[in-house]
């Protein structure tokens, strides 16, 4: 048991955090979170599907012929602030004085490749004109120009982009106009995530940015709607305070702030399973806010999304037929075997060795539990050295083998066999999901029932000079979806254009 004061209980009640939840989290710190047990990398032919052009066209047609009658939602995690994007630029402002040093001397002294790249590509930046219009027309040196440009871009009393939400920064330049990721997601939504009732998008954002997002919708919504011929419905939600996790000291006691209150920290993107659980639609597309293509690549991106959605609709149709058969009872042994083969070969479900020796009633119960689950179709991109999780077959604590998206932090890097499996991985996760969250009767699953709490992360941090341990919840597309039925599909690299640093905007994929 942990010692919690009346003040602690009041603090937890204000956040909506139950005492039992805190006790569970402290037990997790005490027990630790085991590394995952990788069985093999998922590759094409063993866990990842690859389609021919003809098969893709058939799946796209299947989706397009069914979409008008469906509720479609695009769910976009968008709460990221841009400050990390500009880390190198903030550092440059701190370490360079153009009145004392030339830019060349600075490069020689620091070897700062990021600023060198920025200086070379300055005019290609989507916000170049906007910044330059605010600056004097002449500079004493190139160093002064770059320094003043960066300062105007970032500091609070100027454009303040360093503290913007990432989704509202200019990412792409089309002639005289620029477009934010928010606007690009609207335009994309018209291409693949719309039906007879228009295009519905849901953004998870930070509460402090809500008015900014609404202002952007007011500024661009009508124009985009006119250009695309689509009506938009946009909603927002925030990460819930109740999903914050307790921090502990190195003795697993609650870590306390200088004022004596307990330190709670945001639980990471896994907390968004609660936001997703509040949505309801036939099909939900999930894609991060910073992963947007310029419009010349939009058709290729849309075709890829429709392919994934076609896979979902086809497999779901069969799953629904079989789930209904199982519910209505008196399924023959032959039919039970057909359902088992479907789950095994098309849904990647593994069965225990003793399944064949079970009675028909026991088999029916097992098949019901395996088939009545949300389904996720996950795009996977060929590994080009980008950071991010990857697709693997893993074995959980109950001995069940399943397909999962695993982050490198979950893998025991001191175990040569596990490292070997990691190195055999050919694909990585670009966060490109199409989800079916309803059962065959049209009822929404409670997504919180399908989380594997043992797939979180414990990290060590410091605060006010003291060490602490922090807990991240199982990631939204990792452990938060661990017990979903999962299909991985290879998708083209053109679908993956994340912007992790401002210099990514100089890549060809972001130049219109």
Tens-place pLDDT, residues 50-68 = 999 999 999 999 999 999 9
pLDDT, one tens digit per residue, over 254-295 is 999 999 899 999 888 899 999 999 999 999 999 999 999 998
CA-angle at 183, arms to 181 and 186, nearest 5°: 110
> In Å, how far are 24, 81, 263, 345, 366 from 377, measured between CA atoms?
31, 28, 37, 15, 22
**Cβ-contact 281, 437 below 8 angstroms:** yes
Max Cα-Cα span within the chain: 86
Helical segments of 347-494, H only = 360-371, 416-423
Total length of the chain:
512
Helix axes 19-31, 6-15, angle to 10 degrees: 100
pLDDT at 149: 96
pLDDT tens by residue, 197-240: 899 999 999 999 999 999 999 999 999 999 999 999 999 999 99
> Which CATH number fits the domain 18-79+168-496, given the four candidates 3.90.550.10, 3.40.50.1000, 3.40.50.1220, 3.30.1370.110?
3.90.550.10
Q: How confident is the model over 69-91, as a mean pLDDT?
A: 92
pLDDT at 457: 87
What are the domain boundaries of the chain? 18-79+168-496, 87-164
- The pLDDT, as a whole number, for residue 6 is 86
Q: Are 454 and 34 in contact (CB under 8 A)?
A: yes
Q: What is the structure's pLDDT at 364?
A: 94
Distances (CA, A) of 324 to 331, 422, 484: 11, 39, 19
Instruction: Kindly state the average pLDDT of the residues 26-38.
Output: 92
Answer whether residue 110 shows pLDDT above 80.
Answer: yes
- C-alpha distance from residue 403 to each of 347, 349, 386 (Å): 10, 8, 21
Q: How confident is the model at residue 83 (pLDDT cuts 50, 70, 90)?
A: confident
Taking alpha carbons only, the member of 405, 401, 378 closest to residue 391 is 405
> What is the bridge-based pairing of β-strands 390-395 and 401-406?
antiparallel
Average pLDDT for residues 161-189, to the nearest whole number? 94
For residue 8, give the 3-state DSSP assignment: helix
Q: What is the CA radius of gyration of the chain?
A: 25
Query: Which of 508, 445, 446, 456 minimizes the C-alpha distance to 479?
Result: 456
What is residue 387's predicted lDDT score, i.e. its pLDDT?
56
Residue 392 has pLDDT above 70, yes or no: yes
As given in the structure block, the two tokens for residue 130 are 């906007």
pLDDT digits (tens, 9 = 90+) for 461-504: 988 889 999 999 999 999 999 999 999 999 999 999 999 999 99
Token pair for 480: 């938060």
pLDDT in tens, 335-350: 999 999 999 999 999 9
Bridging pattern class, strands 283-287 and 466-472: unpaired
pLDDT at 2 over 80: no
Distance CA(486)–CA(349), nearest Å, equals: 8
Q: How far is CA 164 from CA 127, 153, 155, in A?
A: 14, 11, 11
CA 390 to chain centre: 13
Express each pLDDT in 128-156 by its tens digit. 999 999 998 899 999 999 999 999 999 98
Cβ-contact 386, 440 below 8 angstroms: no
Please give the pLDDT value at position 388.
63
Map residue 27 onto helix, strand or coil. Answer: helix
Averaged pLDDT score across all residues of the chain = 93
Average pLDDT over residues 408-427: 92
DSSP string for 233-272: EEEEE---GGG-EE-B-TTSSBPB-TTSPBPEE---GGGG
The residue whose two tokens read 């060590």 is: 460
Percent of the chain with pLDDT over 70: 99
Helix (H) or strand (E) holding 300: helix 298-328
The answer to whether 96 and 147 have CB atoms below 8 angstroms apart is yes
**Could you tell me the pLDDT band of residue 329, with boundaries at 50, 70 and 90?**
confident
Sign of CA dihedral 319, 325, 329, 331: negative
Q: Which of 27, 33, 25 is nearest to 407 (CA)?
A: 33
The helix/strand/coil state of 474 is coil
Look at the block and give the residue holding tokens 């693997």.
392
Residue 126 pLDDT greater than 90, yes or no: yes
For residue 8, what pLDDT band results from cuts at 50, 70 and 90? confident
Residue 327's pLDDT band, with cuts at 50, 70 and 90, is very high
Q: Is the pLDDT of residue 385 over 70?
A: no
């Amino acid at each position: 048991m942990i010692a919690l004061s009346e003040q602690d209980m009041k603090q937890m009640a204000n956040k909506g955090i139950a005492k039992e939840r805190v006790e569970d989290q402290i037990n997790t710190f005490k027990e630790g979170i085991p590394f995952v047990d990788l069985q093999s990398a998922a590759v094409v032919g063993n866990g990842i599907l690859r389609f021919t052009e003809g098969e893709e066209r058939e799946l796209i047609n299947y989706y397009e012929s069914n979409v008008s009658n469906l509720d479609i939602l695009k769910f976009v995690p968008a709460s990221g602030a841009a400050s990390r994007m500009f880390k190198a630029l903030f550092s440059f402002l701190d370490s360079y004085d153009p009145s004392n040093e030339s830019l060349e001397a600075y490069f020689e002294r620091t070897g700062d490749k990021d600023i060198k790249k920025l200086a070379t590509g300055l005019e290609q930046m989507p916000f170049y004109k906007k910044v330059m219009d605010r600056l004097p027309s002449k500079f004493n040196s190139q160093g002064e120009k770059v320094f003043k440009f960066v300062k105007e871009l970032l500091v609070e009393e100027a454009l303040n982009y360093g503290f913007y939400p990432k989704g509202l920064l200019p990412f792409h330049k089309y002639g005289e106009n620029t477009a934010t990721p928010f606007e690009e997601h609207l335009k994309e939504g018209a291409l693949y995530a719309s039906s007879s009732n228009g295009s519905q998008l849901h953004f998870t954002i930070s509460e402090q940015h809500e008015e900014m997002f609404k202002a952007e919708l007011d500024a661009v919504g009508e124009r985009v709607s006119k250009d695309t011929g689509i009506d938009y419905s946009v909603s927002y939600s925030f990460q819930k305070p109740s999903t914050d996790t307790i921090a502990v000291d190195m003795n697993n006691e609650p870590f306390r702030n200088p004022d004596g209150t307990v330190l709670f920290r945001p639980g990471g993107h896994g907390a968004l399973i609660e936001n997703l659980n509040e949505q309801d639609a036939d099909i939900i597309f999930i894609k991060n806010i910073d992963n947007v293509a310029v419009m010349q690549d939009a058709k290729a991106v849309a075709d890829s999304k429709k392919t994934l959605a076609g896979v979902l609709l086809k497999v779901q149709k069969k799953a629904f037929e079989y789930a209904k058969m199982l519910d209505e009872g008196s399924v023959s042994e032959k039919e039970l075997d057909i359902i088992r083969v479907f789950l095994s070969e098309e849904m990647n479900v593994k069965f225990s060795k003793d399944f064949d020796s079970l009675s028909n009633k026991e088999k029916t119960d097992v098949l019901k539990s395996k088939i009545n689950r949300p389904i996720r179709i996950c795009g996977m991109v060929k590994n080009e050295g980008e950071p991010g999780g990857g697709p693997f077959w893993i074995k959980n604590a109950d001995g069940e083998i399943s397909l999962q998206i695993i982050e490198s932090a979950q893998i025991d890097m001191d175990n040569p066999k596990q490292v070997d499996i990691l190195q055999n991985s050919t694909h990585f996760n670009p966060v490109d999901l199409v989800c079916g969250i309803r059962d065959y009767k049209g009822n929404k699953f409670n997504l919180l029932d399908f989380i594997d709490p043992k797939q979180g992360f414990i990290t060590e941090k410091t605060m006010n000079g003291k060490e602490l341990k922090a807990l991240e919840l199982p990631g939204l597309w990792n452990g938060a979806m661990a017990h979903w039925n999962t299909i991985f599909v290879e998708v083209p690299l053109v679908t993956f254009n994340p912007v992790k640093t401002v210099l990514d905007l100089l890549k060809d994929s972001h130049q219109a």
